[in-house]
A and B are shown apart, each in its own frame.
Chain A
Amino acid sequence: MVFQYPMISVQACLDGILLGILFALIAYGMALQWGVMNIINIAQGDLVILGGYIAYFMYLYGIHPAWGVIVSPIIMYFVGIAIYKLVINKVVDRDLFISILATFGISILFMQLMNFAFGADVVLANSDYGTTMLFDSNVVLPNSKIFSAFISILFAICLVIYMKKSKLGRAIRATAQNARAAKILGVDTEKVYAATFGINAALCGVAGALISITFTIHPYMGLPYTIRSFMIVIVAGLGNLPGVAMSGMGLGVFEEFADYILGTEFRIGSVFLLLVLILVYRRFKLSRKREYLK
């Protein structure tokens, strides 16, 4: 099917790349907190969905949802700080499994609170951006997807510059390298951790607002986003931004093709299966390296 109708492949590729840029933005937040605080945040996807609901509510009250891209990260930053103060600061220097389980608890909590607050319907914020036709209108691209990819790239570039140039950015990078040394040299690591988690939540807010414009959101859809970002980070490695972008796009393309070939009901399943396969592949690669060292 894919080879018979090349336009479907083009469509899937373009869709996948635009989607993948969004995934890469979420994964960048994941990599940030993983690198700096050494925690894996299972609630990442739920923060994304919460950010999406903020944009959706702006849409309900008659404001154009694109403004959610600015409002949502601001609100989510404070949500992130609150989560850090309540839970995360108690698990930062503990076993990684504790952080996984604790954030799993937060994830369940958020999922259910969102279900109560916003209802269990699948919603989207309509942006009225129209569509772009390519190749004799064989390939249809909604402008909202192009807009969201553009905004994601913009935010990623801003963040990279901020990390390189600003004082807080340098403090965050120093803490990621060696928290103890940073502390000795006068970096308030507690503040750095809080800011990192806040920035991560803000990134999730941006991504969520964009997802609510381009796709749909639902209270229970958070976990797949966590798994996707985890997958992107382990494929790309920590602190490798081009790698994150590339593997994000690769994942997006994979998903679109899985959607076309296997059917929509297996889409999420194939993402999780891909995660297992990637981890297993990684394990065999590493074990070969270990044998070589022996």
Chain B
Amino acid sequence: MNRNNLILYIGILIFGIAAPFIFPAFKVQLSILCVLIVLATTWNIQGGEMGYNSFGNILFYGLGMYLCASVQVGMFFPLAEWTESGGEKTFVHTPAQFFQGMAVGLVVAAVVPTIVAGLIGYSILGLRGHYFAICTLGLGVAAGEISGGIEIIGAGQGFTTPPFPDVGNLESRGEFFYFLSFFVLILTFIAVRGIYSTRFKLILNAIRDNEDKAEAMGIETMKYKIVGWMISAFFCGLAGGIMGGLVGYIDSTDVAFDGREMGVFMVLMAILGGKGTLWGPIIGATVFHIFKEGFWTFFLGWQYVALGVLIVVIVIYFPEGIMGWLREKYPQRFGEVIDEKDRKAQVELK
């Protein structure tokens, strides 16, 4: 890590800690941004580095969301009665119970999806290319439809997560969730950055470039694919758990297993920023979130039309993303040396 990078990281850290006090009105938006960055970054482990374009990471996100909320309620009160009472609160968490439940819930929300990813990984990750993409799409939708039929977690009418306890300060809910999501974001960034500087990333790239060849070179590709997916699942589950508490209400197909919205967002953000780069998904998520919020406010009701057009435009015209565009424009910044002679020759050839 050189000095410029260190200054950059410290700057971002300071900005991240100060942000809720500079923009007190945007605390919820900033927390959602953190969650979106986590989702995009972890999607990039599959889609960008490994070449397995998954629509199914929403499965872990939704699973984490349901698990965190269920554990938080189920630790202290009967879960079935809670969901039956719906919006009316017959049970109230004390602050200690709330935070205790949240902590345990987040651990469960992170661990269980990881185990699930490990279990289904062997069968799902054996699929290649578009079969994998459609299969994971099916997984996400199936999970949404099935959880919409299970009574104990609210079935079709949804599941209200425990409301934030009264700790004497109106601002504390936003601050709590902001710092929680920011902490998870930092955790994700450190983990992903650590991964990307090891041999593991090179193996993932080898799988992306030519899986059969990588296997022929003696790499146990399946093992690395499953581990990569489990890492994604871990952070997706965490992000889902936080998002459930933040939104305060879980619906099977509109909030938790929302393949139409969140499931596409994470793919789109990673592609917009640039697949297969560390900073791409982060930039992509930030740009996308700002754009989306602006658009959503001005074109209320037309947001999905705009989303559809946006997907088509990004996919067709910016498949390389912002980082890819920067890389083409300023290759020196990325440590690429350009042979001027070769370049001229190529221009002449064109």
Chain A positions near chain B (C-beta within 8 angstroms): 40, 87, 90-91, 94, 96-98, 100-102, 104-113, 116, 223, 227, 230, 234, 263, 265-266, 268-269, 272-273, 275-276, 279-280, 282-284, 287
Interface string of B112-129 (1 = CB under 8 A from A): 000000000001101101
Residues of A within 8 A of B123 (CB): 280, 283-284
Other A-B contacts than A269-B141, A273-B138, 10 sampled, CB-CB below 8 A, are A90-B316, A102-B315, A105-B309, A112-B302, A230-B134, A265-B149, A265-B155, A272-B145, A275-B134, A275-B138
Q: Which residue of A lies closest to B271 (CB)?
A: A101
B312 CB within 8 Å of chain A: yes
Residues of B within 8 A of A110 (CB): 308
B307 CB within 8 Å of chain A: yes
B260 to A: closest C-beta gap in Å = 7
A124 to B144, CA, bound (A): 26
Residues of B within 8 A of A90 (CB): 316
Cβ-defined contact, A266 with B316, below 8 A: no
B191 CB within 8 Å of chain A: no
A97 to B301, CA, bound (A): 29
Give 13 pairs: A residue, B residue, CB < 8 Å, sorted on A.
A91-B316, A100-B133, A102-B316, A104-B264, A104-B311, A105-B308, A105-B311, A112-B308, A227-B137, A275-B135, A276-B124, A276-B135, A276-B142
Residues of A within 8 A of B127 (CB): 279-280, 282-283
Q: How many residues of B contact A (CB 8 A)?
A: 40
Which B303-331 residues sit within 8 Å CB-CB of chain A?
A: 304-305, 307-312, 315-316, 319
B142 contact from A101, A111, A269, Cβ within 8 A? A269
Q: Which residue of B lies closest to A38 (CB)?
A: B130
A94 to B317, CA, bound (A): 12
User: Top 7 A-B pairs ranked by shortest CB distance?
Assistant: A109-B308, A105-B311, A269-B145, A272-B142, A112-B304, A108-B308, A105-B312
Cβ-defined contact, A100 with B316, below 8 A: no
Residues of B within 8 A of A108 (CB): 260, 264, 304, 307-308, 311
Cβ-defined contact, A98 with B134, below 8 A: no
A268 to B145, CA, bound (A): 7
Cβ-defined contact, A109 with B312, below 8 A: yes
Cβ-defined contact, A273 with B316, below 8 A: no
Cβ-defined contact, A97 with B53, below 8 A: yes
A119 to B: closest C-beta gap in Å = 13
A230 to B131, CA, bound (A): 10
A286 to B: closest C-beta gap in Å = 8
B139 CB within 8 Å of chain A: yes
A275 to B311, CA, bound (A): 25
A87 to B319, CA, bound (A): 14
Residues of A within 8 A of B302 (CB): 112
B138 contact from A87, A96, A276, Cβ within 8 A? A276
A105 contact from B141, B149, B301, B315, Cβ within 8 A? B315
B58 CB within 8 Å of chain A: no
Residues of A within 8 A of B307 (CB): 105, 108
Cβ-defined contact, B130 with A96, below 8 A: yes
Residues of A within 8 A of B305 (CB): 109, 112-113, 116
Cβ-defined contact, B304 with A100, below 8 A: no
B20 CB within 8 Å of chain A: no
B220 to A: closest C-beta gap in Å = 14
Residues of A within 8 A of B264 (CB): 104, 108
Cβ-defined contact, B142 with A102, below 8 A: no
Cβ-defined contact, A97 with B131, below 8 A: no
Residues of B within 8 A of A98 (CB): 315-316, 319
A284 to B123, CA, bound (A): 8
A100 to B309, CA, bound (A): 14
Cβ-defined contact, B131 with A234, below 8 A: yes
B267 CB within 8 Å of chain A: yes
B146 CB within 8 Å of chain A: yes
Cβ-defined contact, B312 with A87, below 8 A: yes
B163 CB within 8 Å of chain A: no
B134 contact from A87, A102, A279, A284, Cβ within 8 A? A279
Q: Which residue of B lies closest to A287 (CB)?
A: B126
Instruction: Give the one of B138, B141, B304, B319 with max A CB within 10 A.
Output: B138
B148 CB within 8 Å of chain A: yes
